[in-house]
Structure 1
Amino acid sequence: MNKALTVSIIFKASSLNYGEGTANVSELKKFHRGNGEVYSFASRQALRYDIVRLGNQFFDWNLDVVDKSQKVVQFKEDCTIVDSVEMDLFGYMKTKVKQGADKRSAVVRLSHAVSLEPYRSDFEFLNNMGLATRIKENADLATLEQHESLYTYTLTLDLGRVGIDGEIELSNEEKANRVKQLIEITKHLSREIRGRQENLAPLFIIGGMYPIANPFFLGRISLKNFDTRILDTAQLASVLEQSAFGKSLHALTKVGLVGGVFANEKEITELANTVSIEAFYQNLLHEVDNYYKVLV
């Protein structure tokens, strides 16, 4: 039977993604809610970029698979998922003049990483005085919007589609390796931005292996209190009461938690089987191995 994994993660970081900006002001990517609050976010494209960057850094993922053909920057026509973990997991589109395009939809689905705490119009004023004074020139000025917050994003992956593209099918061992590499990357995820390296590693993670590829916990994670960081467990509990194809979500779900982050830690541990972040990941890696071994 086909299986999928989904995890929703909370991490703490600062100012993860900037947009176009105005004049010398760099503006965060953000959106307004109906209650007037403003929330910053890192786009799913930004998360993908850093996952692929770390895939190359940690596991030597092949990045030499892009060129400019048909006047478009895209994946090379002769490259396949055999050559590229990125093409396998995140899909591709190769356009051809008057022939349409070869497409592969993404196996891995990412949401934006959305802040759980509202943006309060904080700014950082900066200049390049250190360089300017060396040559006795006036410094250039700039302003950055700044927002430190807890953020949450969701990753969903259909295990049955990994390593299969048309007539190409990789070995189950290679499929498992690619999925496990992706899982390891999320455990150590970081983002390099404007001279900083932000730690996107989980403080809280919920999910597991399920009979369908559905982001069960997406949109169900929020804070009840910003000051003391009380996680709203009622929404998550209501999801865990559901079933999928006759399987109890509560029975299939684990929670990984870093202690001391949330004021209602005891309440969180009562949601589902709660373990350390490391134990959560080791269990997920073990389940991936078991899934692909059964297919042999």
Structure 2
Amino acid sequence: MRKALSFTVIFQGNSLNYGEGIANISELKKFHRGNGDVHTFASRQSLRYDIVRLGNQLFNWNLDVVDKSKGVIQFKDECTIKDSVEMDLFGYMKTKAKSGAERRSAAVRISHAISLEPFRSDLEFLTNMGLANRIGTDANLANLEQHQSLYTYTVTIDFARIGVDGKIELPNEERAARIKQLLTIIKILNREIKGRQENLAPLFIIGGVYSVANPFFLGRVSLKQGNQYELNTGKIASVLEQTILGEKVADRTNIGLVRGVFDNESEIETLGNIVTIEQFFTILEQEIDEYFGDK
């Protein structure tokens, strides 16, 4: 039976993704909601960048798979998913003169990481006075938008498409290893930005292995209104009650939790099987081994 892994993460971060900016103001990427709230976000492209960076650092993922031989920056024609975990997980497009393009859609889908707390237009004023004083000149001025918040994003992985591309089919052991490498990266994910290293590791994570590649908890994780950090459990409970292909979502779902973050932990515990973050990933790795070991 076809299987897919989907999970939604909450982490805490500060000012994770900047856009073009105006004059000397560096603006965060953000959007407006209908109620007037403004939320910042880290794009899926930025998350992918840091996942691939860590994949290279931790597991020696091959990054020498890109060129500009046709005037377009893209993956090399001769490179395949055998050569690149990145191409396998996140897909590719290779343009071809007069014959369109060779495409492979992503087997791993990542959403934007969206802030759960509204942006209040905080600014940080910066100068390079330390350098300017050395040569007796005026300092340059800059302003950075700043936002400290909890963020949430979702990952969905279609097991059947990992390690498979046309006539190429990698051994099941390698397919399972690539997914487990990705999970290891998610567990310790961080982002390097403007001299900082932000910790994007999960404080809360919910999901499991299901019969369909569906982001069940995307858009269903939020905070309650108020001054305390309370997770809105009502939305999550509604998803857990759903059934798909004869399976109840709750029966396939685990919840990983870092204690001491949310003020309604006792309420969160009523949702189901609460484990540590480490236990959550261990359970997923066991299910991955079972899936690819049975094939």
Shorter-normalised TM-score: what interval? over 0.9
Residues 1:221 and 2:221 aligned together = yes
Structure 1 residue 227 displacement after superposition: 1.7
Structure 1 residue 217 displacement after superposition: 0.2
The percent identity for this pair of structures is 66
Structure 2 unaligned spans of 5+: none
In structure 1, the residue matched to 2:58 is 58
Residues 1:193 and 2:193 aligned together = yes
1:7-26 pair list within 5 angstroms? 7-26=7-26
In structure 2, the residue matched to 1:41 is 41
In structure 2, the residue matched to 1:157 is 157
In structure 2, the residue matched to 1:145 is 145
In structure 2, the residue matched to 1:100 is 100
Q: Distance in 1 between matches of 2:69 and 2:168?
A: 23
* Letter paired with 2:97: V
Q: Distance in 1 between matches of 2:53 and 2:111?
A: 18
In structure 1, the residue matched to 2:203 is 203
Which digits, 9 at most, give the CA deviation of each residue in 1:150-200, with x for residues without a partner? 000000000011000000000000000000000110000000000000000
Normalising by structure 2, we get a TM-score of: 0.99
1:1-296 pair list within 5 angstroms? 1-295=1-295
Q: Could you say what secondary structure the match of 2:68 adopts?
A: strand
Which digits, 9 at most, give the CA deviation of each residue in 1:185-244, with x for residues without a partner? 000000000000000000000000000000000000111135211110000000000011
Structure 1 residue ranges (4+ consecutive) displaced by more than 2 angstroms after TM superposition: none
Kept in 2, the 8 Å contact 1:117–1:226? The answer is no
Q: Distance in 2 between matches of 1:137 and 1:163?
A: 58
Q: Could you say what secondary structure the match of 1:239 adopts?
A: helix
* Letter paired with 2:74: Q
* Letter paired with 1:143: N
Q: Could you say what secondary structure the match of 1:82 adopts?
A: coil
Kept in 2, the 8 Å contact 1:209–1:287? The answer is yes
Q: Distance in 2 between matches of 1:32 and 1:63?
A: 36
Structure 1 unaligned spans of 5+: none
Kept in 2, the 8 Å contact 1:12–1:149? The answer is yes
Which digits, 9 at most, give the CA deviation of each residue in 1:22-58, with x for residues without a partner? 0000000000000000000000000000000000011
Q: Distance in 2 between matches of 1:166 and 1:294?
A: 22
